[in-house]
Protein backbone atom coordinates (compact mmCIF):
# COMPACT_ATOMS: atom_id res chain seq x y z
CA UNK A 1 0.00 0.00 0.00
CA UNK A 2 1.38 3.47 -0.81
CA UNK A 3 2.79 5.56 1.98
CA UNK A 4 1.07 8.93 1.60
CA UNK A 5 3.13 11.66 3.17
CA UNK A 6 1.68 15.08 3.61
CA UNK A 7 3.91 18.11 4.03
CA UNK A 8 2.27 20.07 6.82
CA UNK A 9 3.10 23.65 7.72
CA UNK A 10 1.08 24.98 10.66
CA UNK A 11 -0.57 28.22 9.54
CA UNK A 12 0.55 27.57 5.97
CA UNK A 13 -1.14 28.09 2.64
CA UNK A 14 -2.02 25.05 0.56
CA UNK A 15 -3.24 24.36 -2.96
CA UNK A 16 -5.75 21.50 -3.31
CA UNK A 17 -7.33 19.47 -6.07
CA UNK A 18 -10.37 17.45 -5.01
CA UNK A 19 -12.13 15.21 -7.51
CA UNK A 20 -15.38 13.34 -7.94
CA UNK A 21 -15.15 9.60 -8.42
CA UNK A 22 -17.11 9.92 -11.68
CA UNK A 23 -15.07 12.39 -13.74
CA UNK A 24 -17.96 12.61 -16.22
CA UNK A 25 -20.32 13.86 -13.51
CA UNK A 26 -21.49 17.37 -12.77
CA UNK A 27 -22.50 17.04 -9.13
CA UNK A 28 -20.33 19.90 -7.94
CA UNK A 29 -21.91 22.56 -10.12
CA UNK A 30 -25.39 21.00 -10.12
CA UNK A 31 -25.33 20.96 -6.30
CA UNK A 32 -23.21 24.07 -5.78
CA UNK A 33 -25.43 25.28 -2.92
CA UNK A 34 -24.86 22.02 -1.02
CA UNK A 35 -21.11 22.34 -1.56
CA UNK A 36 -21.14 25.96 -0.36
CA UNK A 37 -23.16 24.97 2.72
CA UNK A 38 -20.71 22.14 3.49
CA UNK A 39 -17.77 24.54 3.27
CA UNK A 40 -19.51 27.18 5.42
CA UNK A 41 -20.43 24.64 8.12
CA UNK A 42 -16.90 23.25 8.17
CA UNK A 43 -15.35 26.73 8.41
CA UNK A 44 -17.57 27.55 11.39
CA UNK A 45 -16.22 24.54 13.31
CA UNK A 46 -12.67 24.49 11.91
CA UNK A 47 -11.79 27.92 10.52
CA UNK A 48 -9.57 28.48 7.50
CA UNK A 49 -9.19 31.31 5.02
CA UNK A 50 -10.25 30.75 1.42
CA UNK A 51 -7.67 32.49 -0.72
CA UNK A 52 -8.95 31.19 -4.06
CA UNK A 53 -11.45 28.64 -5.30
CA UNK A 54 -12.86 27.33 -8.54
CA UNK A 55 -15.53 24.67 -8.77
CA UNK A 56 -15.84 22.73 -12.02
CA UNK A 57 -18.49 20.07 -12.70
CA UNK A 58 -16.26 17.15 -11.66
CA UNK A 59 -13.45 18.62 -9.57
CA UNK A 60 -12.33 21.71 -7.75
CA UNK A 61 -9.13 23.59 -7.04
CA UNK A 62 -8.53 25.95 -4.16
CA UNK A 63 -5.96 27.66 -2.00
CA UNK A 64 -6.48 27.83 1.75
CA UNK A 65 -4.50 29.45 4.52
CA UNK A 66 -4.84 27.71 7.87
CA UNK A 67 -4.83 29.41 11.27
CA UNK A 68 -1.53 29.91 13.08
CA UNK A 69 -0.36 26.65 14.63
CA UNK A 70 -2.87 24.54 12.68
CA UNK A 71 -1.93 22.15 9.86
CA UNK A 72 -4.99 19.86 9.86
CA UNK A 73 -6.40 20.27 6.38
CA UNK A 74 -7.24 16.56 6.07
CA UNK A 75 -10.03 16.59 8.64
CA UNK A 76 -11.44 19.77 7.12
CA UNK A 77 -11.67 18.04 3.73
CA UNK A 78 -13.19 14.97 5.35
CA UNK A 79 -15.88 17.14 6.95
CA UNK A 80 -16.62 19.01 3.71
CA UNK A 81 -16.91 15.79 1.75
CA UNK A 82 -19.20 14.18 4.33
CA UNK A 83 -21.47 17.21 4.62
CA UNK A 84 -21.76 17.52 0.84
CA UNK A 85 -22.60 13.84 0.39
CA UNK A 86 -25.21 13.95 3.16
CA UNK A 87 -27.08 16.64 1.20
CA UNK A 88 -27.35 14.51 -1.95
CA UNK A 89 -29.91 11.86 -2.89
CA UNK A 90 -28.73 8.24 -2.60
CA UNK A 91 -28.89 7.44 -6.30
CA UNK A 92 -25.27 7.08 -7.41
CA UNK A 93 -23.93 3.71 -8.55
CA UNK A 94 -21.78 1.96 -5.96
CA UNK A 95 -19.42 -0.97 -6.15
CA UNK A 96 -19.91 -4.01 -3.93
CA UNK A 97 -16.97 -2.84 -1.80
CA UNK A 98 -18.46 0.64 -1.39
CA UNK A 99 -21.84 -0.80 -0.45
CA UNK A 100 -20.26 -3.25 2.03
CA UNK A 101 -18.30 -0.40 3.65
CA UNK A 102 -21.31 1.91 3.74
CA UNK A 103 -19.54 4.33 1.39
CA UNK A 104 -21.16 6.60 -1.13
CA UNK A 105 -19.81 6.62 -4.67
CA UNK A 106 -19.28 10.39 -4.87
CA UNK A 107 -15.70 11.46 -4.10
CA UNK A 108 -12.34 10.02 -4.94
CA UNK A 109 -10.95 8.84 -1.62
CA UNK A 110 -7.94 11.09 -1.54
CA UNK A 111 -7.12 14.61 -2.62
CA UNK A 112 -3.99 16.28 -3.92
CA UNK A 113 -2.35 19.02 -1.89
CA UNK A 114 0.69 21.20 -2.30
CA UNK A 115 2.19 23.38 0.43
CA UNK A 116 2.76 26.83 -1.04
CA UNK A 117 6.48 27.64 -0.80
CA UNK A 118 6.75 31.35 -1.56
CA UNK A 119 5.07 34.31 -3.28
CA UNK A 120 5.92 33.10 -6.80
CA UNK A 121 4.52 29.66 -6.04
CA UNK A 122 1.38 31.30 -4.62
CA UNK A 123 0.95 33.45 -7.75
CA UNK A 124 1.37 30.46 -10.07
CA UNK A 125 -1.24 28.46 -8.17
CA UNK A 126 -3.59 31.44 -8.02
CA UNK A 127 -3.38 31.66 -11.82
CA UNK A 128 -3.91 27.90 -12.13
CA UNK A 129 -7.04 28.00 -9.99
CA UNK A 130 -8.60 30.76 -12.04
CA UNK A 131 -7.62 29.60 -15.54
CA UNK A 132 -9.09 26.13 -15.04
CA UNK A 133 -12.58 26.74 -16.51
CA UNK A 134 -10.94 27.98 -19.72
CA UNK A 135 -8.33 25.23 -19.71
CA UNK A 136 -11.02 22.54 -19.49
CA UNK A 137 -13.30 24.20 -22.02
CA UNK A 138 -16.10 25.14 -19.61
CA UNK A 139 -15.77 28.85 -20.38
CA UNK A 140 -14.27 31.03 -23.11
CA UNK A 141 -13.11 33.64 -20.58
CA UNK A 142 -12.16 33.39 -16.94
CA UNK A 143 -14.59 36.11 -15.91
CA UNK A 144 -17.65 34.29 -17.31
CA UNK A 145 -17.26 31.22 -15.05
CA UNK A 146 -19.64 31.75 -12.09
CA UNK A 147 -18.05 29.31 -9.61
CA UNK A 148 -14.77 31.08 -9.00
CA UNK A 149 -13.12 33.67 -6.80
CA UNK A 150 -11.73 35.42 -9.87
CA UNK A 151 -14.00 38.46 -9.46
CA UNK A 152 -12.77 38.92 -5.88
CA UNK A 153 -9.20 39.13 -7.16
CA UNK A 154 -10.23 41.57 -9.90
CA UNK A 155 -11.78 43.81 -7.22
CA UNK A 156 -8.56 43.49 -5.19
CA UNK A 157 -6.57 44.72 -8.21
CA UNK A 158 -4.61 41.50 -8.75
CA UNK A 159 -6.20 40.69 -12.12
CA UNK A 160 -7.64 42.83 -14.88
CA UNK A 161 -11.23 41.87 -15.79
CA UNK A 162 -10.05 40.64 -19.20
CA UNK A 163 -7.14 38.55 -17.86
CA UNK A 164 -6.79 35.36 -19.89
CA UNK A 165 -9.46 36.49 -22.30
CA UNK A 166 -10.08 33.01 -23.57
CA UNK A 167 -7.86 32.51 -26.57
CA UNK A 168 -4.96 30.05 -26.48
CA UNK A 169 -2.55 33.01 -26.67
CA UNK A 170 -4.16 34.51 -23.57
CA UNK A 171 -3.34 31.53 -21.32
CA UNK A 172 -0.38 31.83 -18.97
CA UNK A 173 2.69 30.18 -20.55
CA UNK A 174 2.51 27.08 -18.33
CA UNK A 175 -1.12 26.40 -19.28
CA UNK A 176 -0.84 26.24 -23.10
> What percent of the chain lies above the pLDDT cut of 70?
89
Mean pLDDT for the chain? 89
Confirm whether 7 is a catalytic residue.
Answer: no
- Among residues 14, 128, 147, 159, the one annotated as catalytic is 147
Question: Taking 80 as the threshold, does the pLDDT of residue 109 lie above it?
Answer: yes
Q: Bigger pLDDT: 18 or 7? A: 18
Determine, yes or no, domain membership for 147. Answer: no
Cα–Cα distance, 40 to 38 (Å, whole number)? 6
Q: What is the pLDDT of residues 18-73, one digit of tens each?
A: 999 988 889 999 999 999 999 999 999 999 999 999 999 999 999 999 999 999 99
Q: Would residue 127 count as lying in a domain?
A: no
Q: Kindly indicate the confidence band of residue 167, based on its pLDDT and cuts at 50, 70 and 90.
A: very low
Per-residue pLDDT at 74? 95
| Longest CA–CA separation in the chain, Å | 51
**Domain around 56:** 13-122
CATH code, domain with 98: 3.30.70.1290
Residues 92/26/77/42 CA torsion (nearest 10 deg): -100
Residue 118 lies in a domain: yes
What distance in Å separates the CA atoms of residue 28 and residue 159, rounded to the nearest whole number? 25
**Per the domain annotation, does 7 fall within a domain?**
no
Q: Is 50 within 8 Å of 132 (Cβ atoms)?
A: no
pLDDT digits (tens, 9 = 90+) for 144-158: 999 999 999 999 999
* pLDDT reported for residue 176: 43
Is 148 a domain residue? no
Instruction: Judge if pTM exceeds 0.85.
Output: yes
CA distance 126 to 148: 11
Contact present, 98 and 106 (Cβ < 8 Å): no
Domains in the chain: how many in total? 1
**Nearest in space to 33 (alpha carbons), one of 88, 90, 73:** 88
Look at residue 166 and tell me if it is in a domain: no
Domain membership flag for residue 49: yes
Q: Is residue 146, in this structure, part of any structural domain at all?
A: no
Amino acid sequence: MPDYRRYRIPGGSYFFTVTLLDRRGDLLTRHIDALRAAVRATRRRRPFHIDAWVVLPDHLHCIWTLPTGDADFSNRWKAIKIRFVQALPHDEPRSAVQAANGERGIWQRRFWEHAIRDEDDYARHLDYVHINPVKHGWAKTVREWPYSTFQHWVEAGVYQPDWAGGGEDDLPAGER
